[in-house]
Amino acid sequence: MTPELVTNALKNVKYPGYSRDIVSFGLVKDVVANQGAVSVVVQLTGGTQEVAQDIKGQAEAAIRALPGVQHVHVNVLLPATAPGAAPVQKSPWQGQNKMPGIKRVVAVASGKGGVGKSTVSVNLACALTQLGAKVGLLDCDIYGPSIPLMMGINRKPTVSESEKLVPPSNHGVKLMSMGFLIDDESPVIWRGPMIMKTIQQFISDVEWGDLDYLLVDLPPGTGDAQLSLCQTVPLDGGVIITTPQEASLGVVRKGVAMFEKVNVPILGIVENMSYFTTPNGDRVEIFGHGGGRAEAERKKVAFLGEVPIFTEIRIGGDKGVPIVVGDPKSAPAQAFMAVAQAVRKVLS
């Protein structure tokens, strides 16, 4: 009998009302196993006395099922302040020190490609910086990294004395991307485990320093990158990017469902490419309009804003100078600033 065997058994103990186990949530704080006697300490960050008793019962049953176990003691601790007062629906990881020096970790995601997720990510990062925050941006699109181009930086990260990568920065934002580590025309032909390991290293082996926000630009879909991130670091929330038409919204719903299954709060939805204004002032709704707001109302999450189609946004991304930096007083820049302010408000 070893602590490792006990910990593996506790992976079968689900937090009540959630699909994840207490080990992946980081709630198991101490495991001792010695000559058939097992002692476990579980520290909750929310919940009620009923939740604690449920977890205690599950944990004791899981441990007793192991061969050779004779005595079991499971101590489930509620928060010191107002035990039992926190709602059961509160995320079990909320309030934990997730990553040293980083206050908020926010994923920027979309159900499908081509909705401008990376464009929103870089402008949101720069907008938060202009609002006075310390911001990092992690590009988790291993197969098609675009953050280096959009942020106008292509130098490789340096290595610190502690043998960690030091992220380069531009426009006041610290950056890390697979694009810094490979040639521009070299394809990444990896299977899932390689992607998972790389994302874990981008989280744990990078000297991010003190940040108010670490934005994570996810690849489209609900695959290995998204699951690896959720399993590696507790996220404070996800921002969903969509375009107005139903073809995009239908896939967005899958992205929302993915975050719900891994217990990541949805901070809100951004409608990109909302409409286009012609030179003579006519408004053209190329992809329809209002789908993002309607979906936010349907899912009962915040609508963080709409970003119209502006040629200046595309030009800024191609030149490596996001519009928020290149022309901060322009209409497209102000649209991103409004989104940044909405995200900051939801998080606070």
Output the pTM of the full model: 0.69
**Spatial separation of the C-alpha atoms in residues 156 and 184, rounded to whole Å:** 12
Per residue in 301-334, pLDDT tens? Answer: 889 999 999 999 999 999 999 999 999 999 999 9
Domain architecture of the chain: domains with CATH = 3-77 (3.30.300.130), 102-347 (3.40.50.300)
From the number of C-beta atoms within 10 Å of its C-beta (0-12, 13-18, 19+), residue 186 rates as: exposed
Shortest CA distance to 147 belongs to which of 183, 116, 119? 119
Per residue in 162-180, pLDDT tens? Answer: 888 899 999 999 999 888 8
Per residue in 2-28, pLDDT tens? Answer: 888 999 999 999 988 777 889 888 889
What average pLDDT score do residues 268-289 get?
85
pLDDT class of 95 with cuts at 50, 70, 90: very low
Q: Which residues contact 142 (CB under 8 A, 6 or more apart)?
A: 178, 188, 190, 195, 198, 199, 219, 225
Least confident of 54-68, 94-108, 195-209: 94-108
pLDDT class of 101 with cuts at 50, 70, 90: confident
pLDDT class of 86 with cuts at 50, 70, 90: very low
**Spatial separation of the C-alpha atoms in residues 255 and 249, rounded to whole Å:** 10
Shortest CA distance to 15 belongs to which of 40, 49, 52, 41? 52
pLDDT class of 97 with cuts at 50, 70, 90: very low
Predicted local confidence at residue 17, as pLDDT: 78
Predicted local confidence at residue 186, as pLDDT: 60
Predicted local confidence at residue 98, as pLDDT: 60
Range among 49-63, 195-209, 276-290 rated most confident: 49-63
Looking at the predicted structure, is the pLDDT value of residue 84 above 50?
Answer: no
Predicted local confidence at residue 266, as pLDDT: 87
Looking at the predicted structure, is the pLDDT value of residue 204 above 80?
Answer: no
pLDDT class of 291 with cuts at 50, 70, 90: confident
pLDDT class of 193 with cuts at 50, 70, 90: low
Alpha-helical regions (H) of 187-245: 192-204, 224-232
**Would you list the DSSP string of 34-55?**
ETTEEEEEEE-SS--HHHHHHH
Top pLDDT among 196 and 275 is at 275
Torsion-angle region of 164 (φ positive above 0: left; ψ -120 to 50: alpha; else: beta): beta
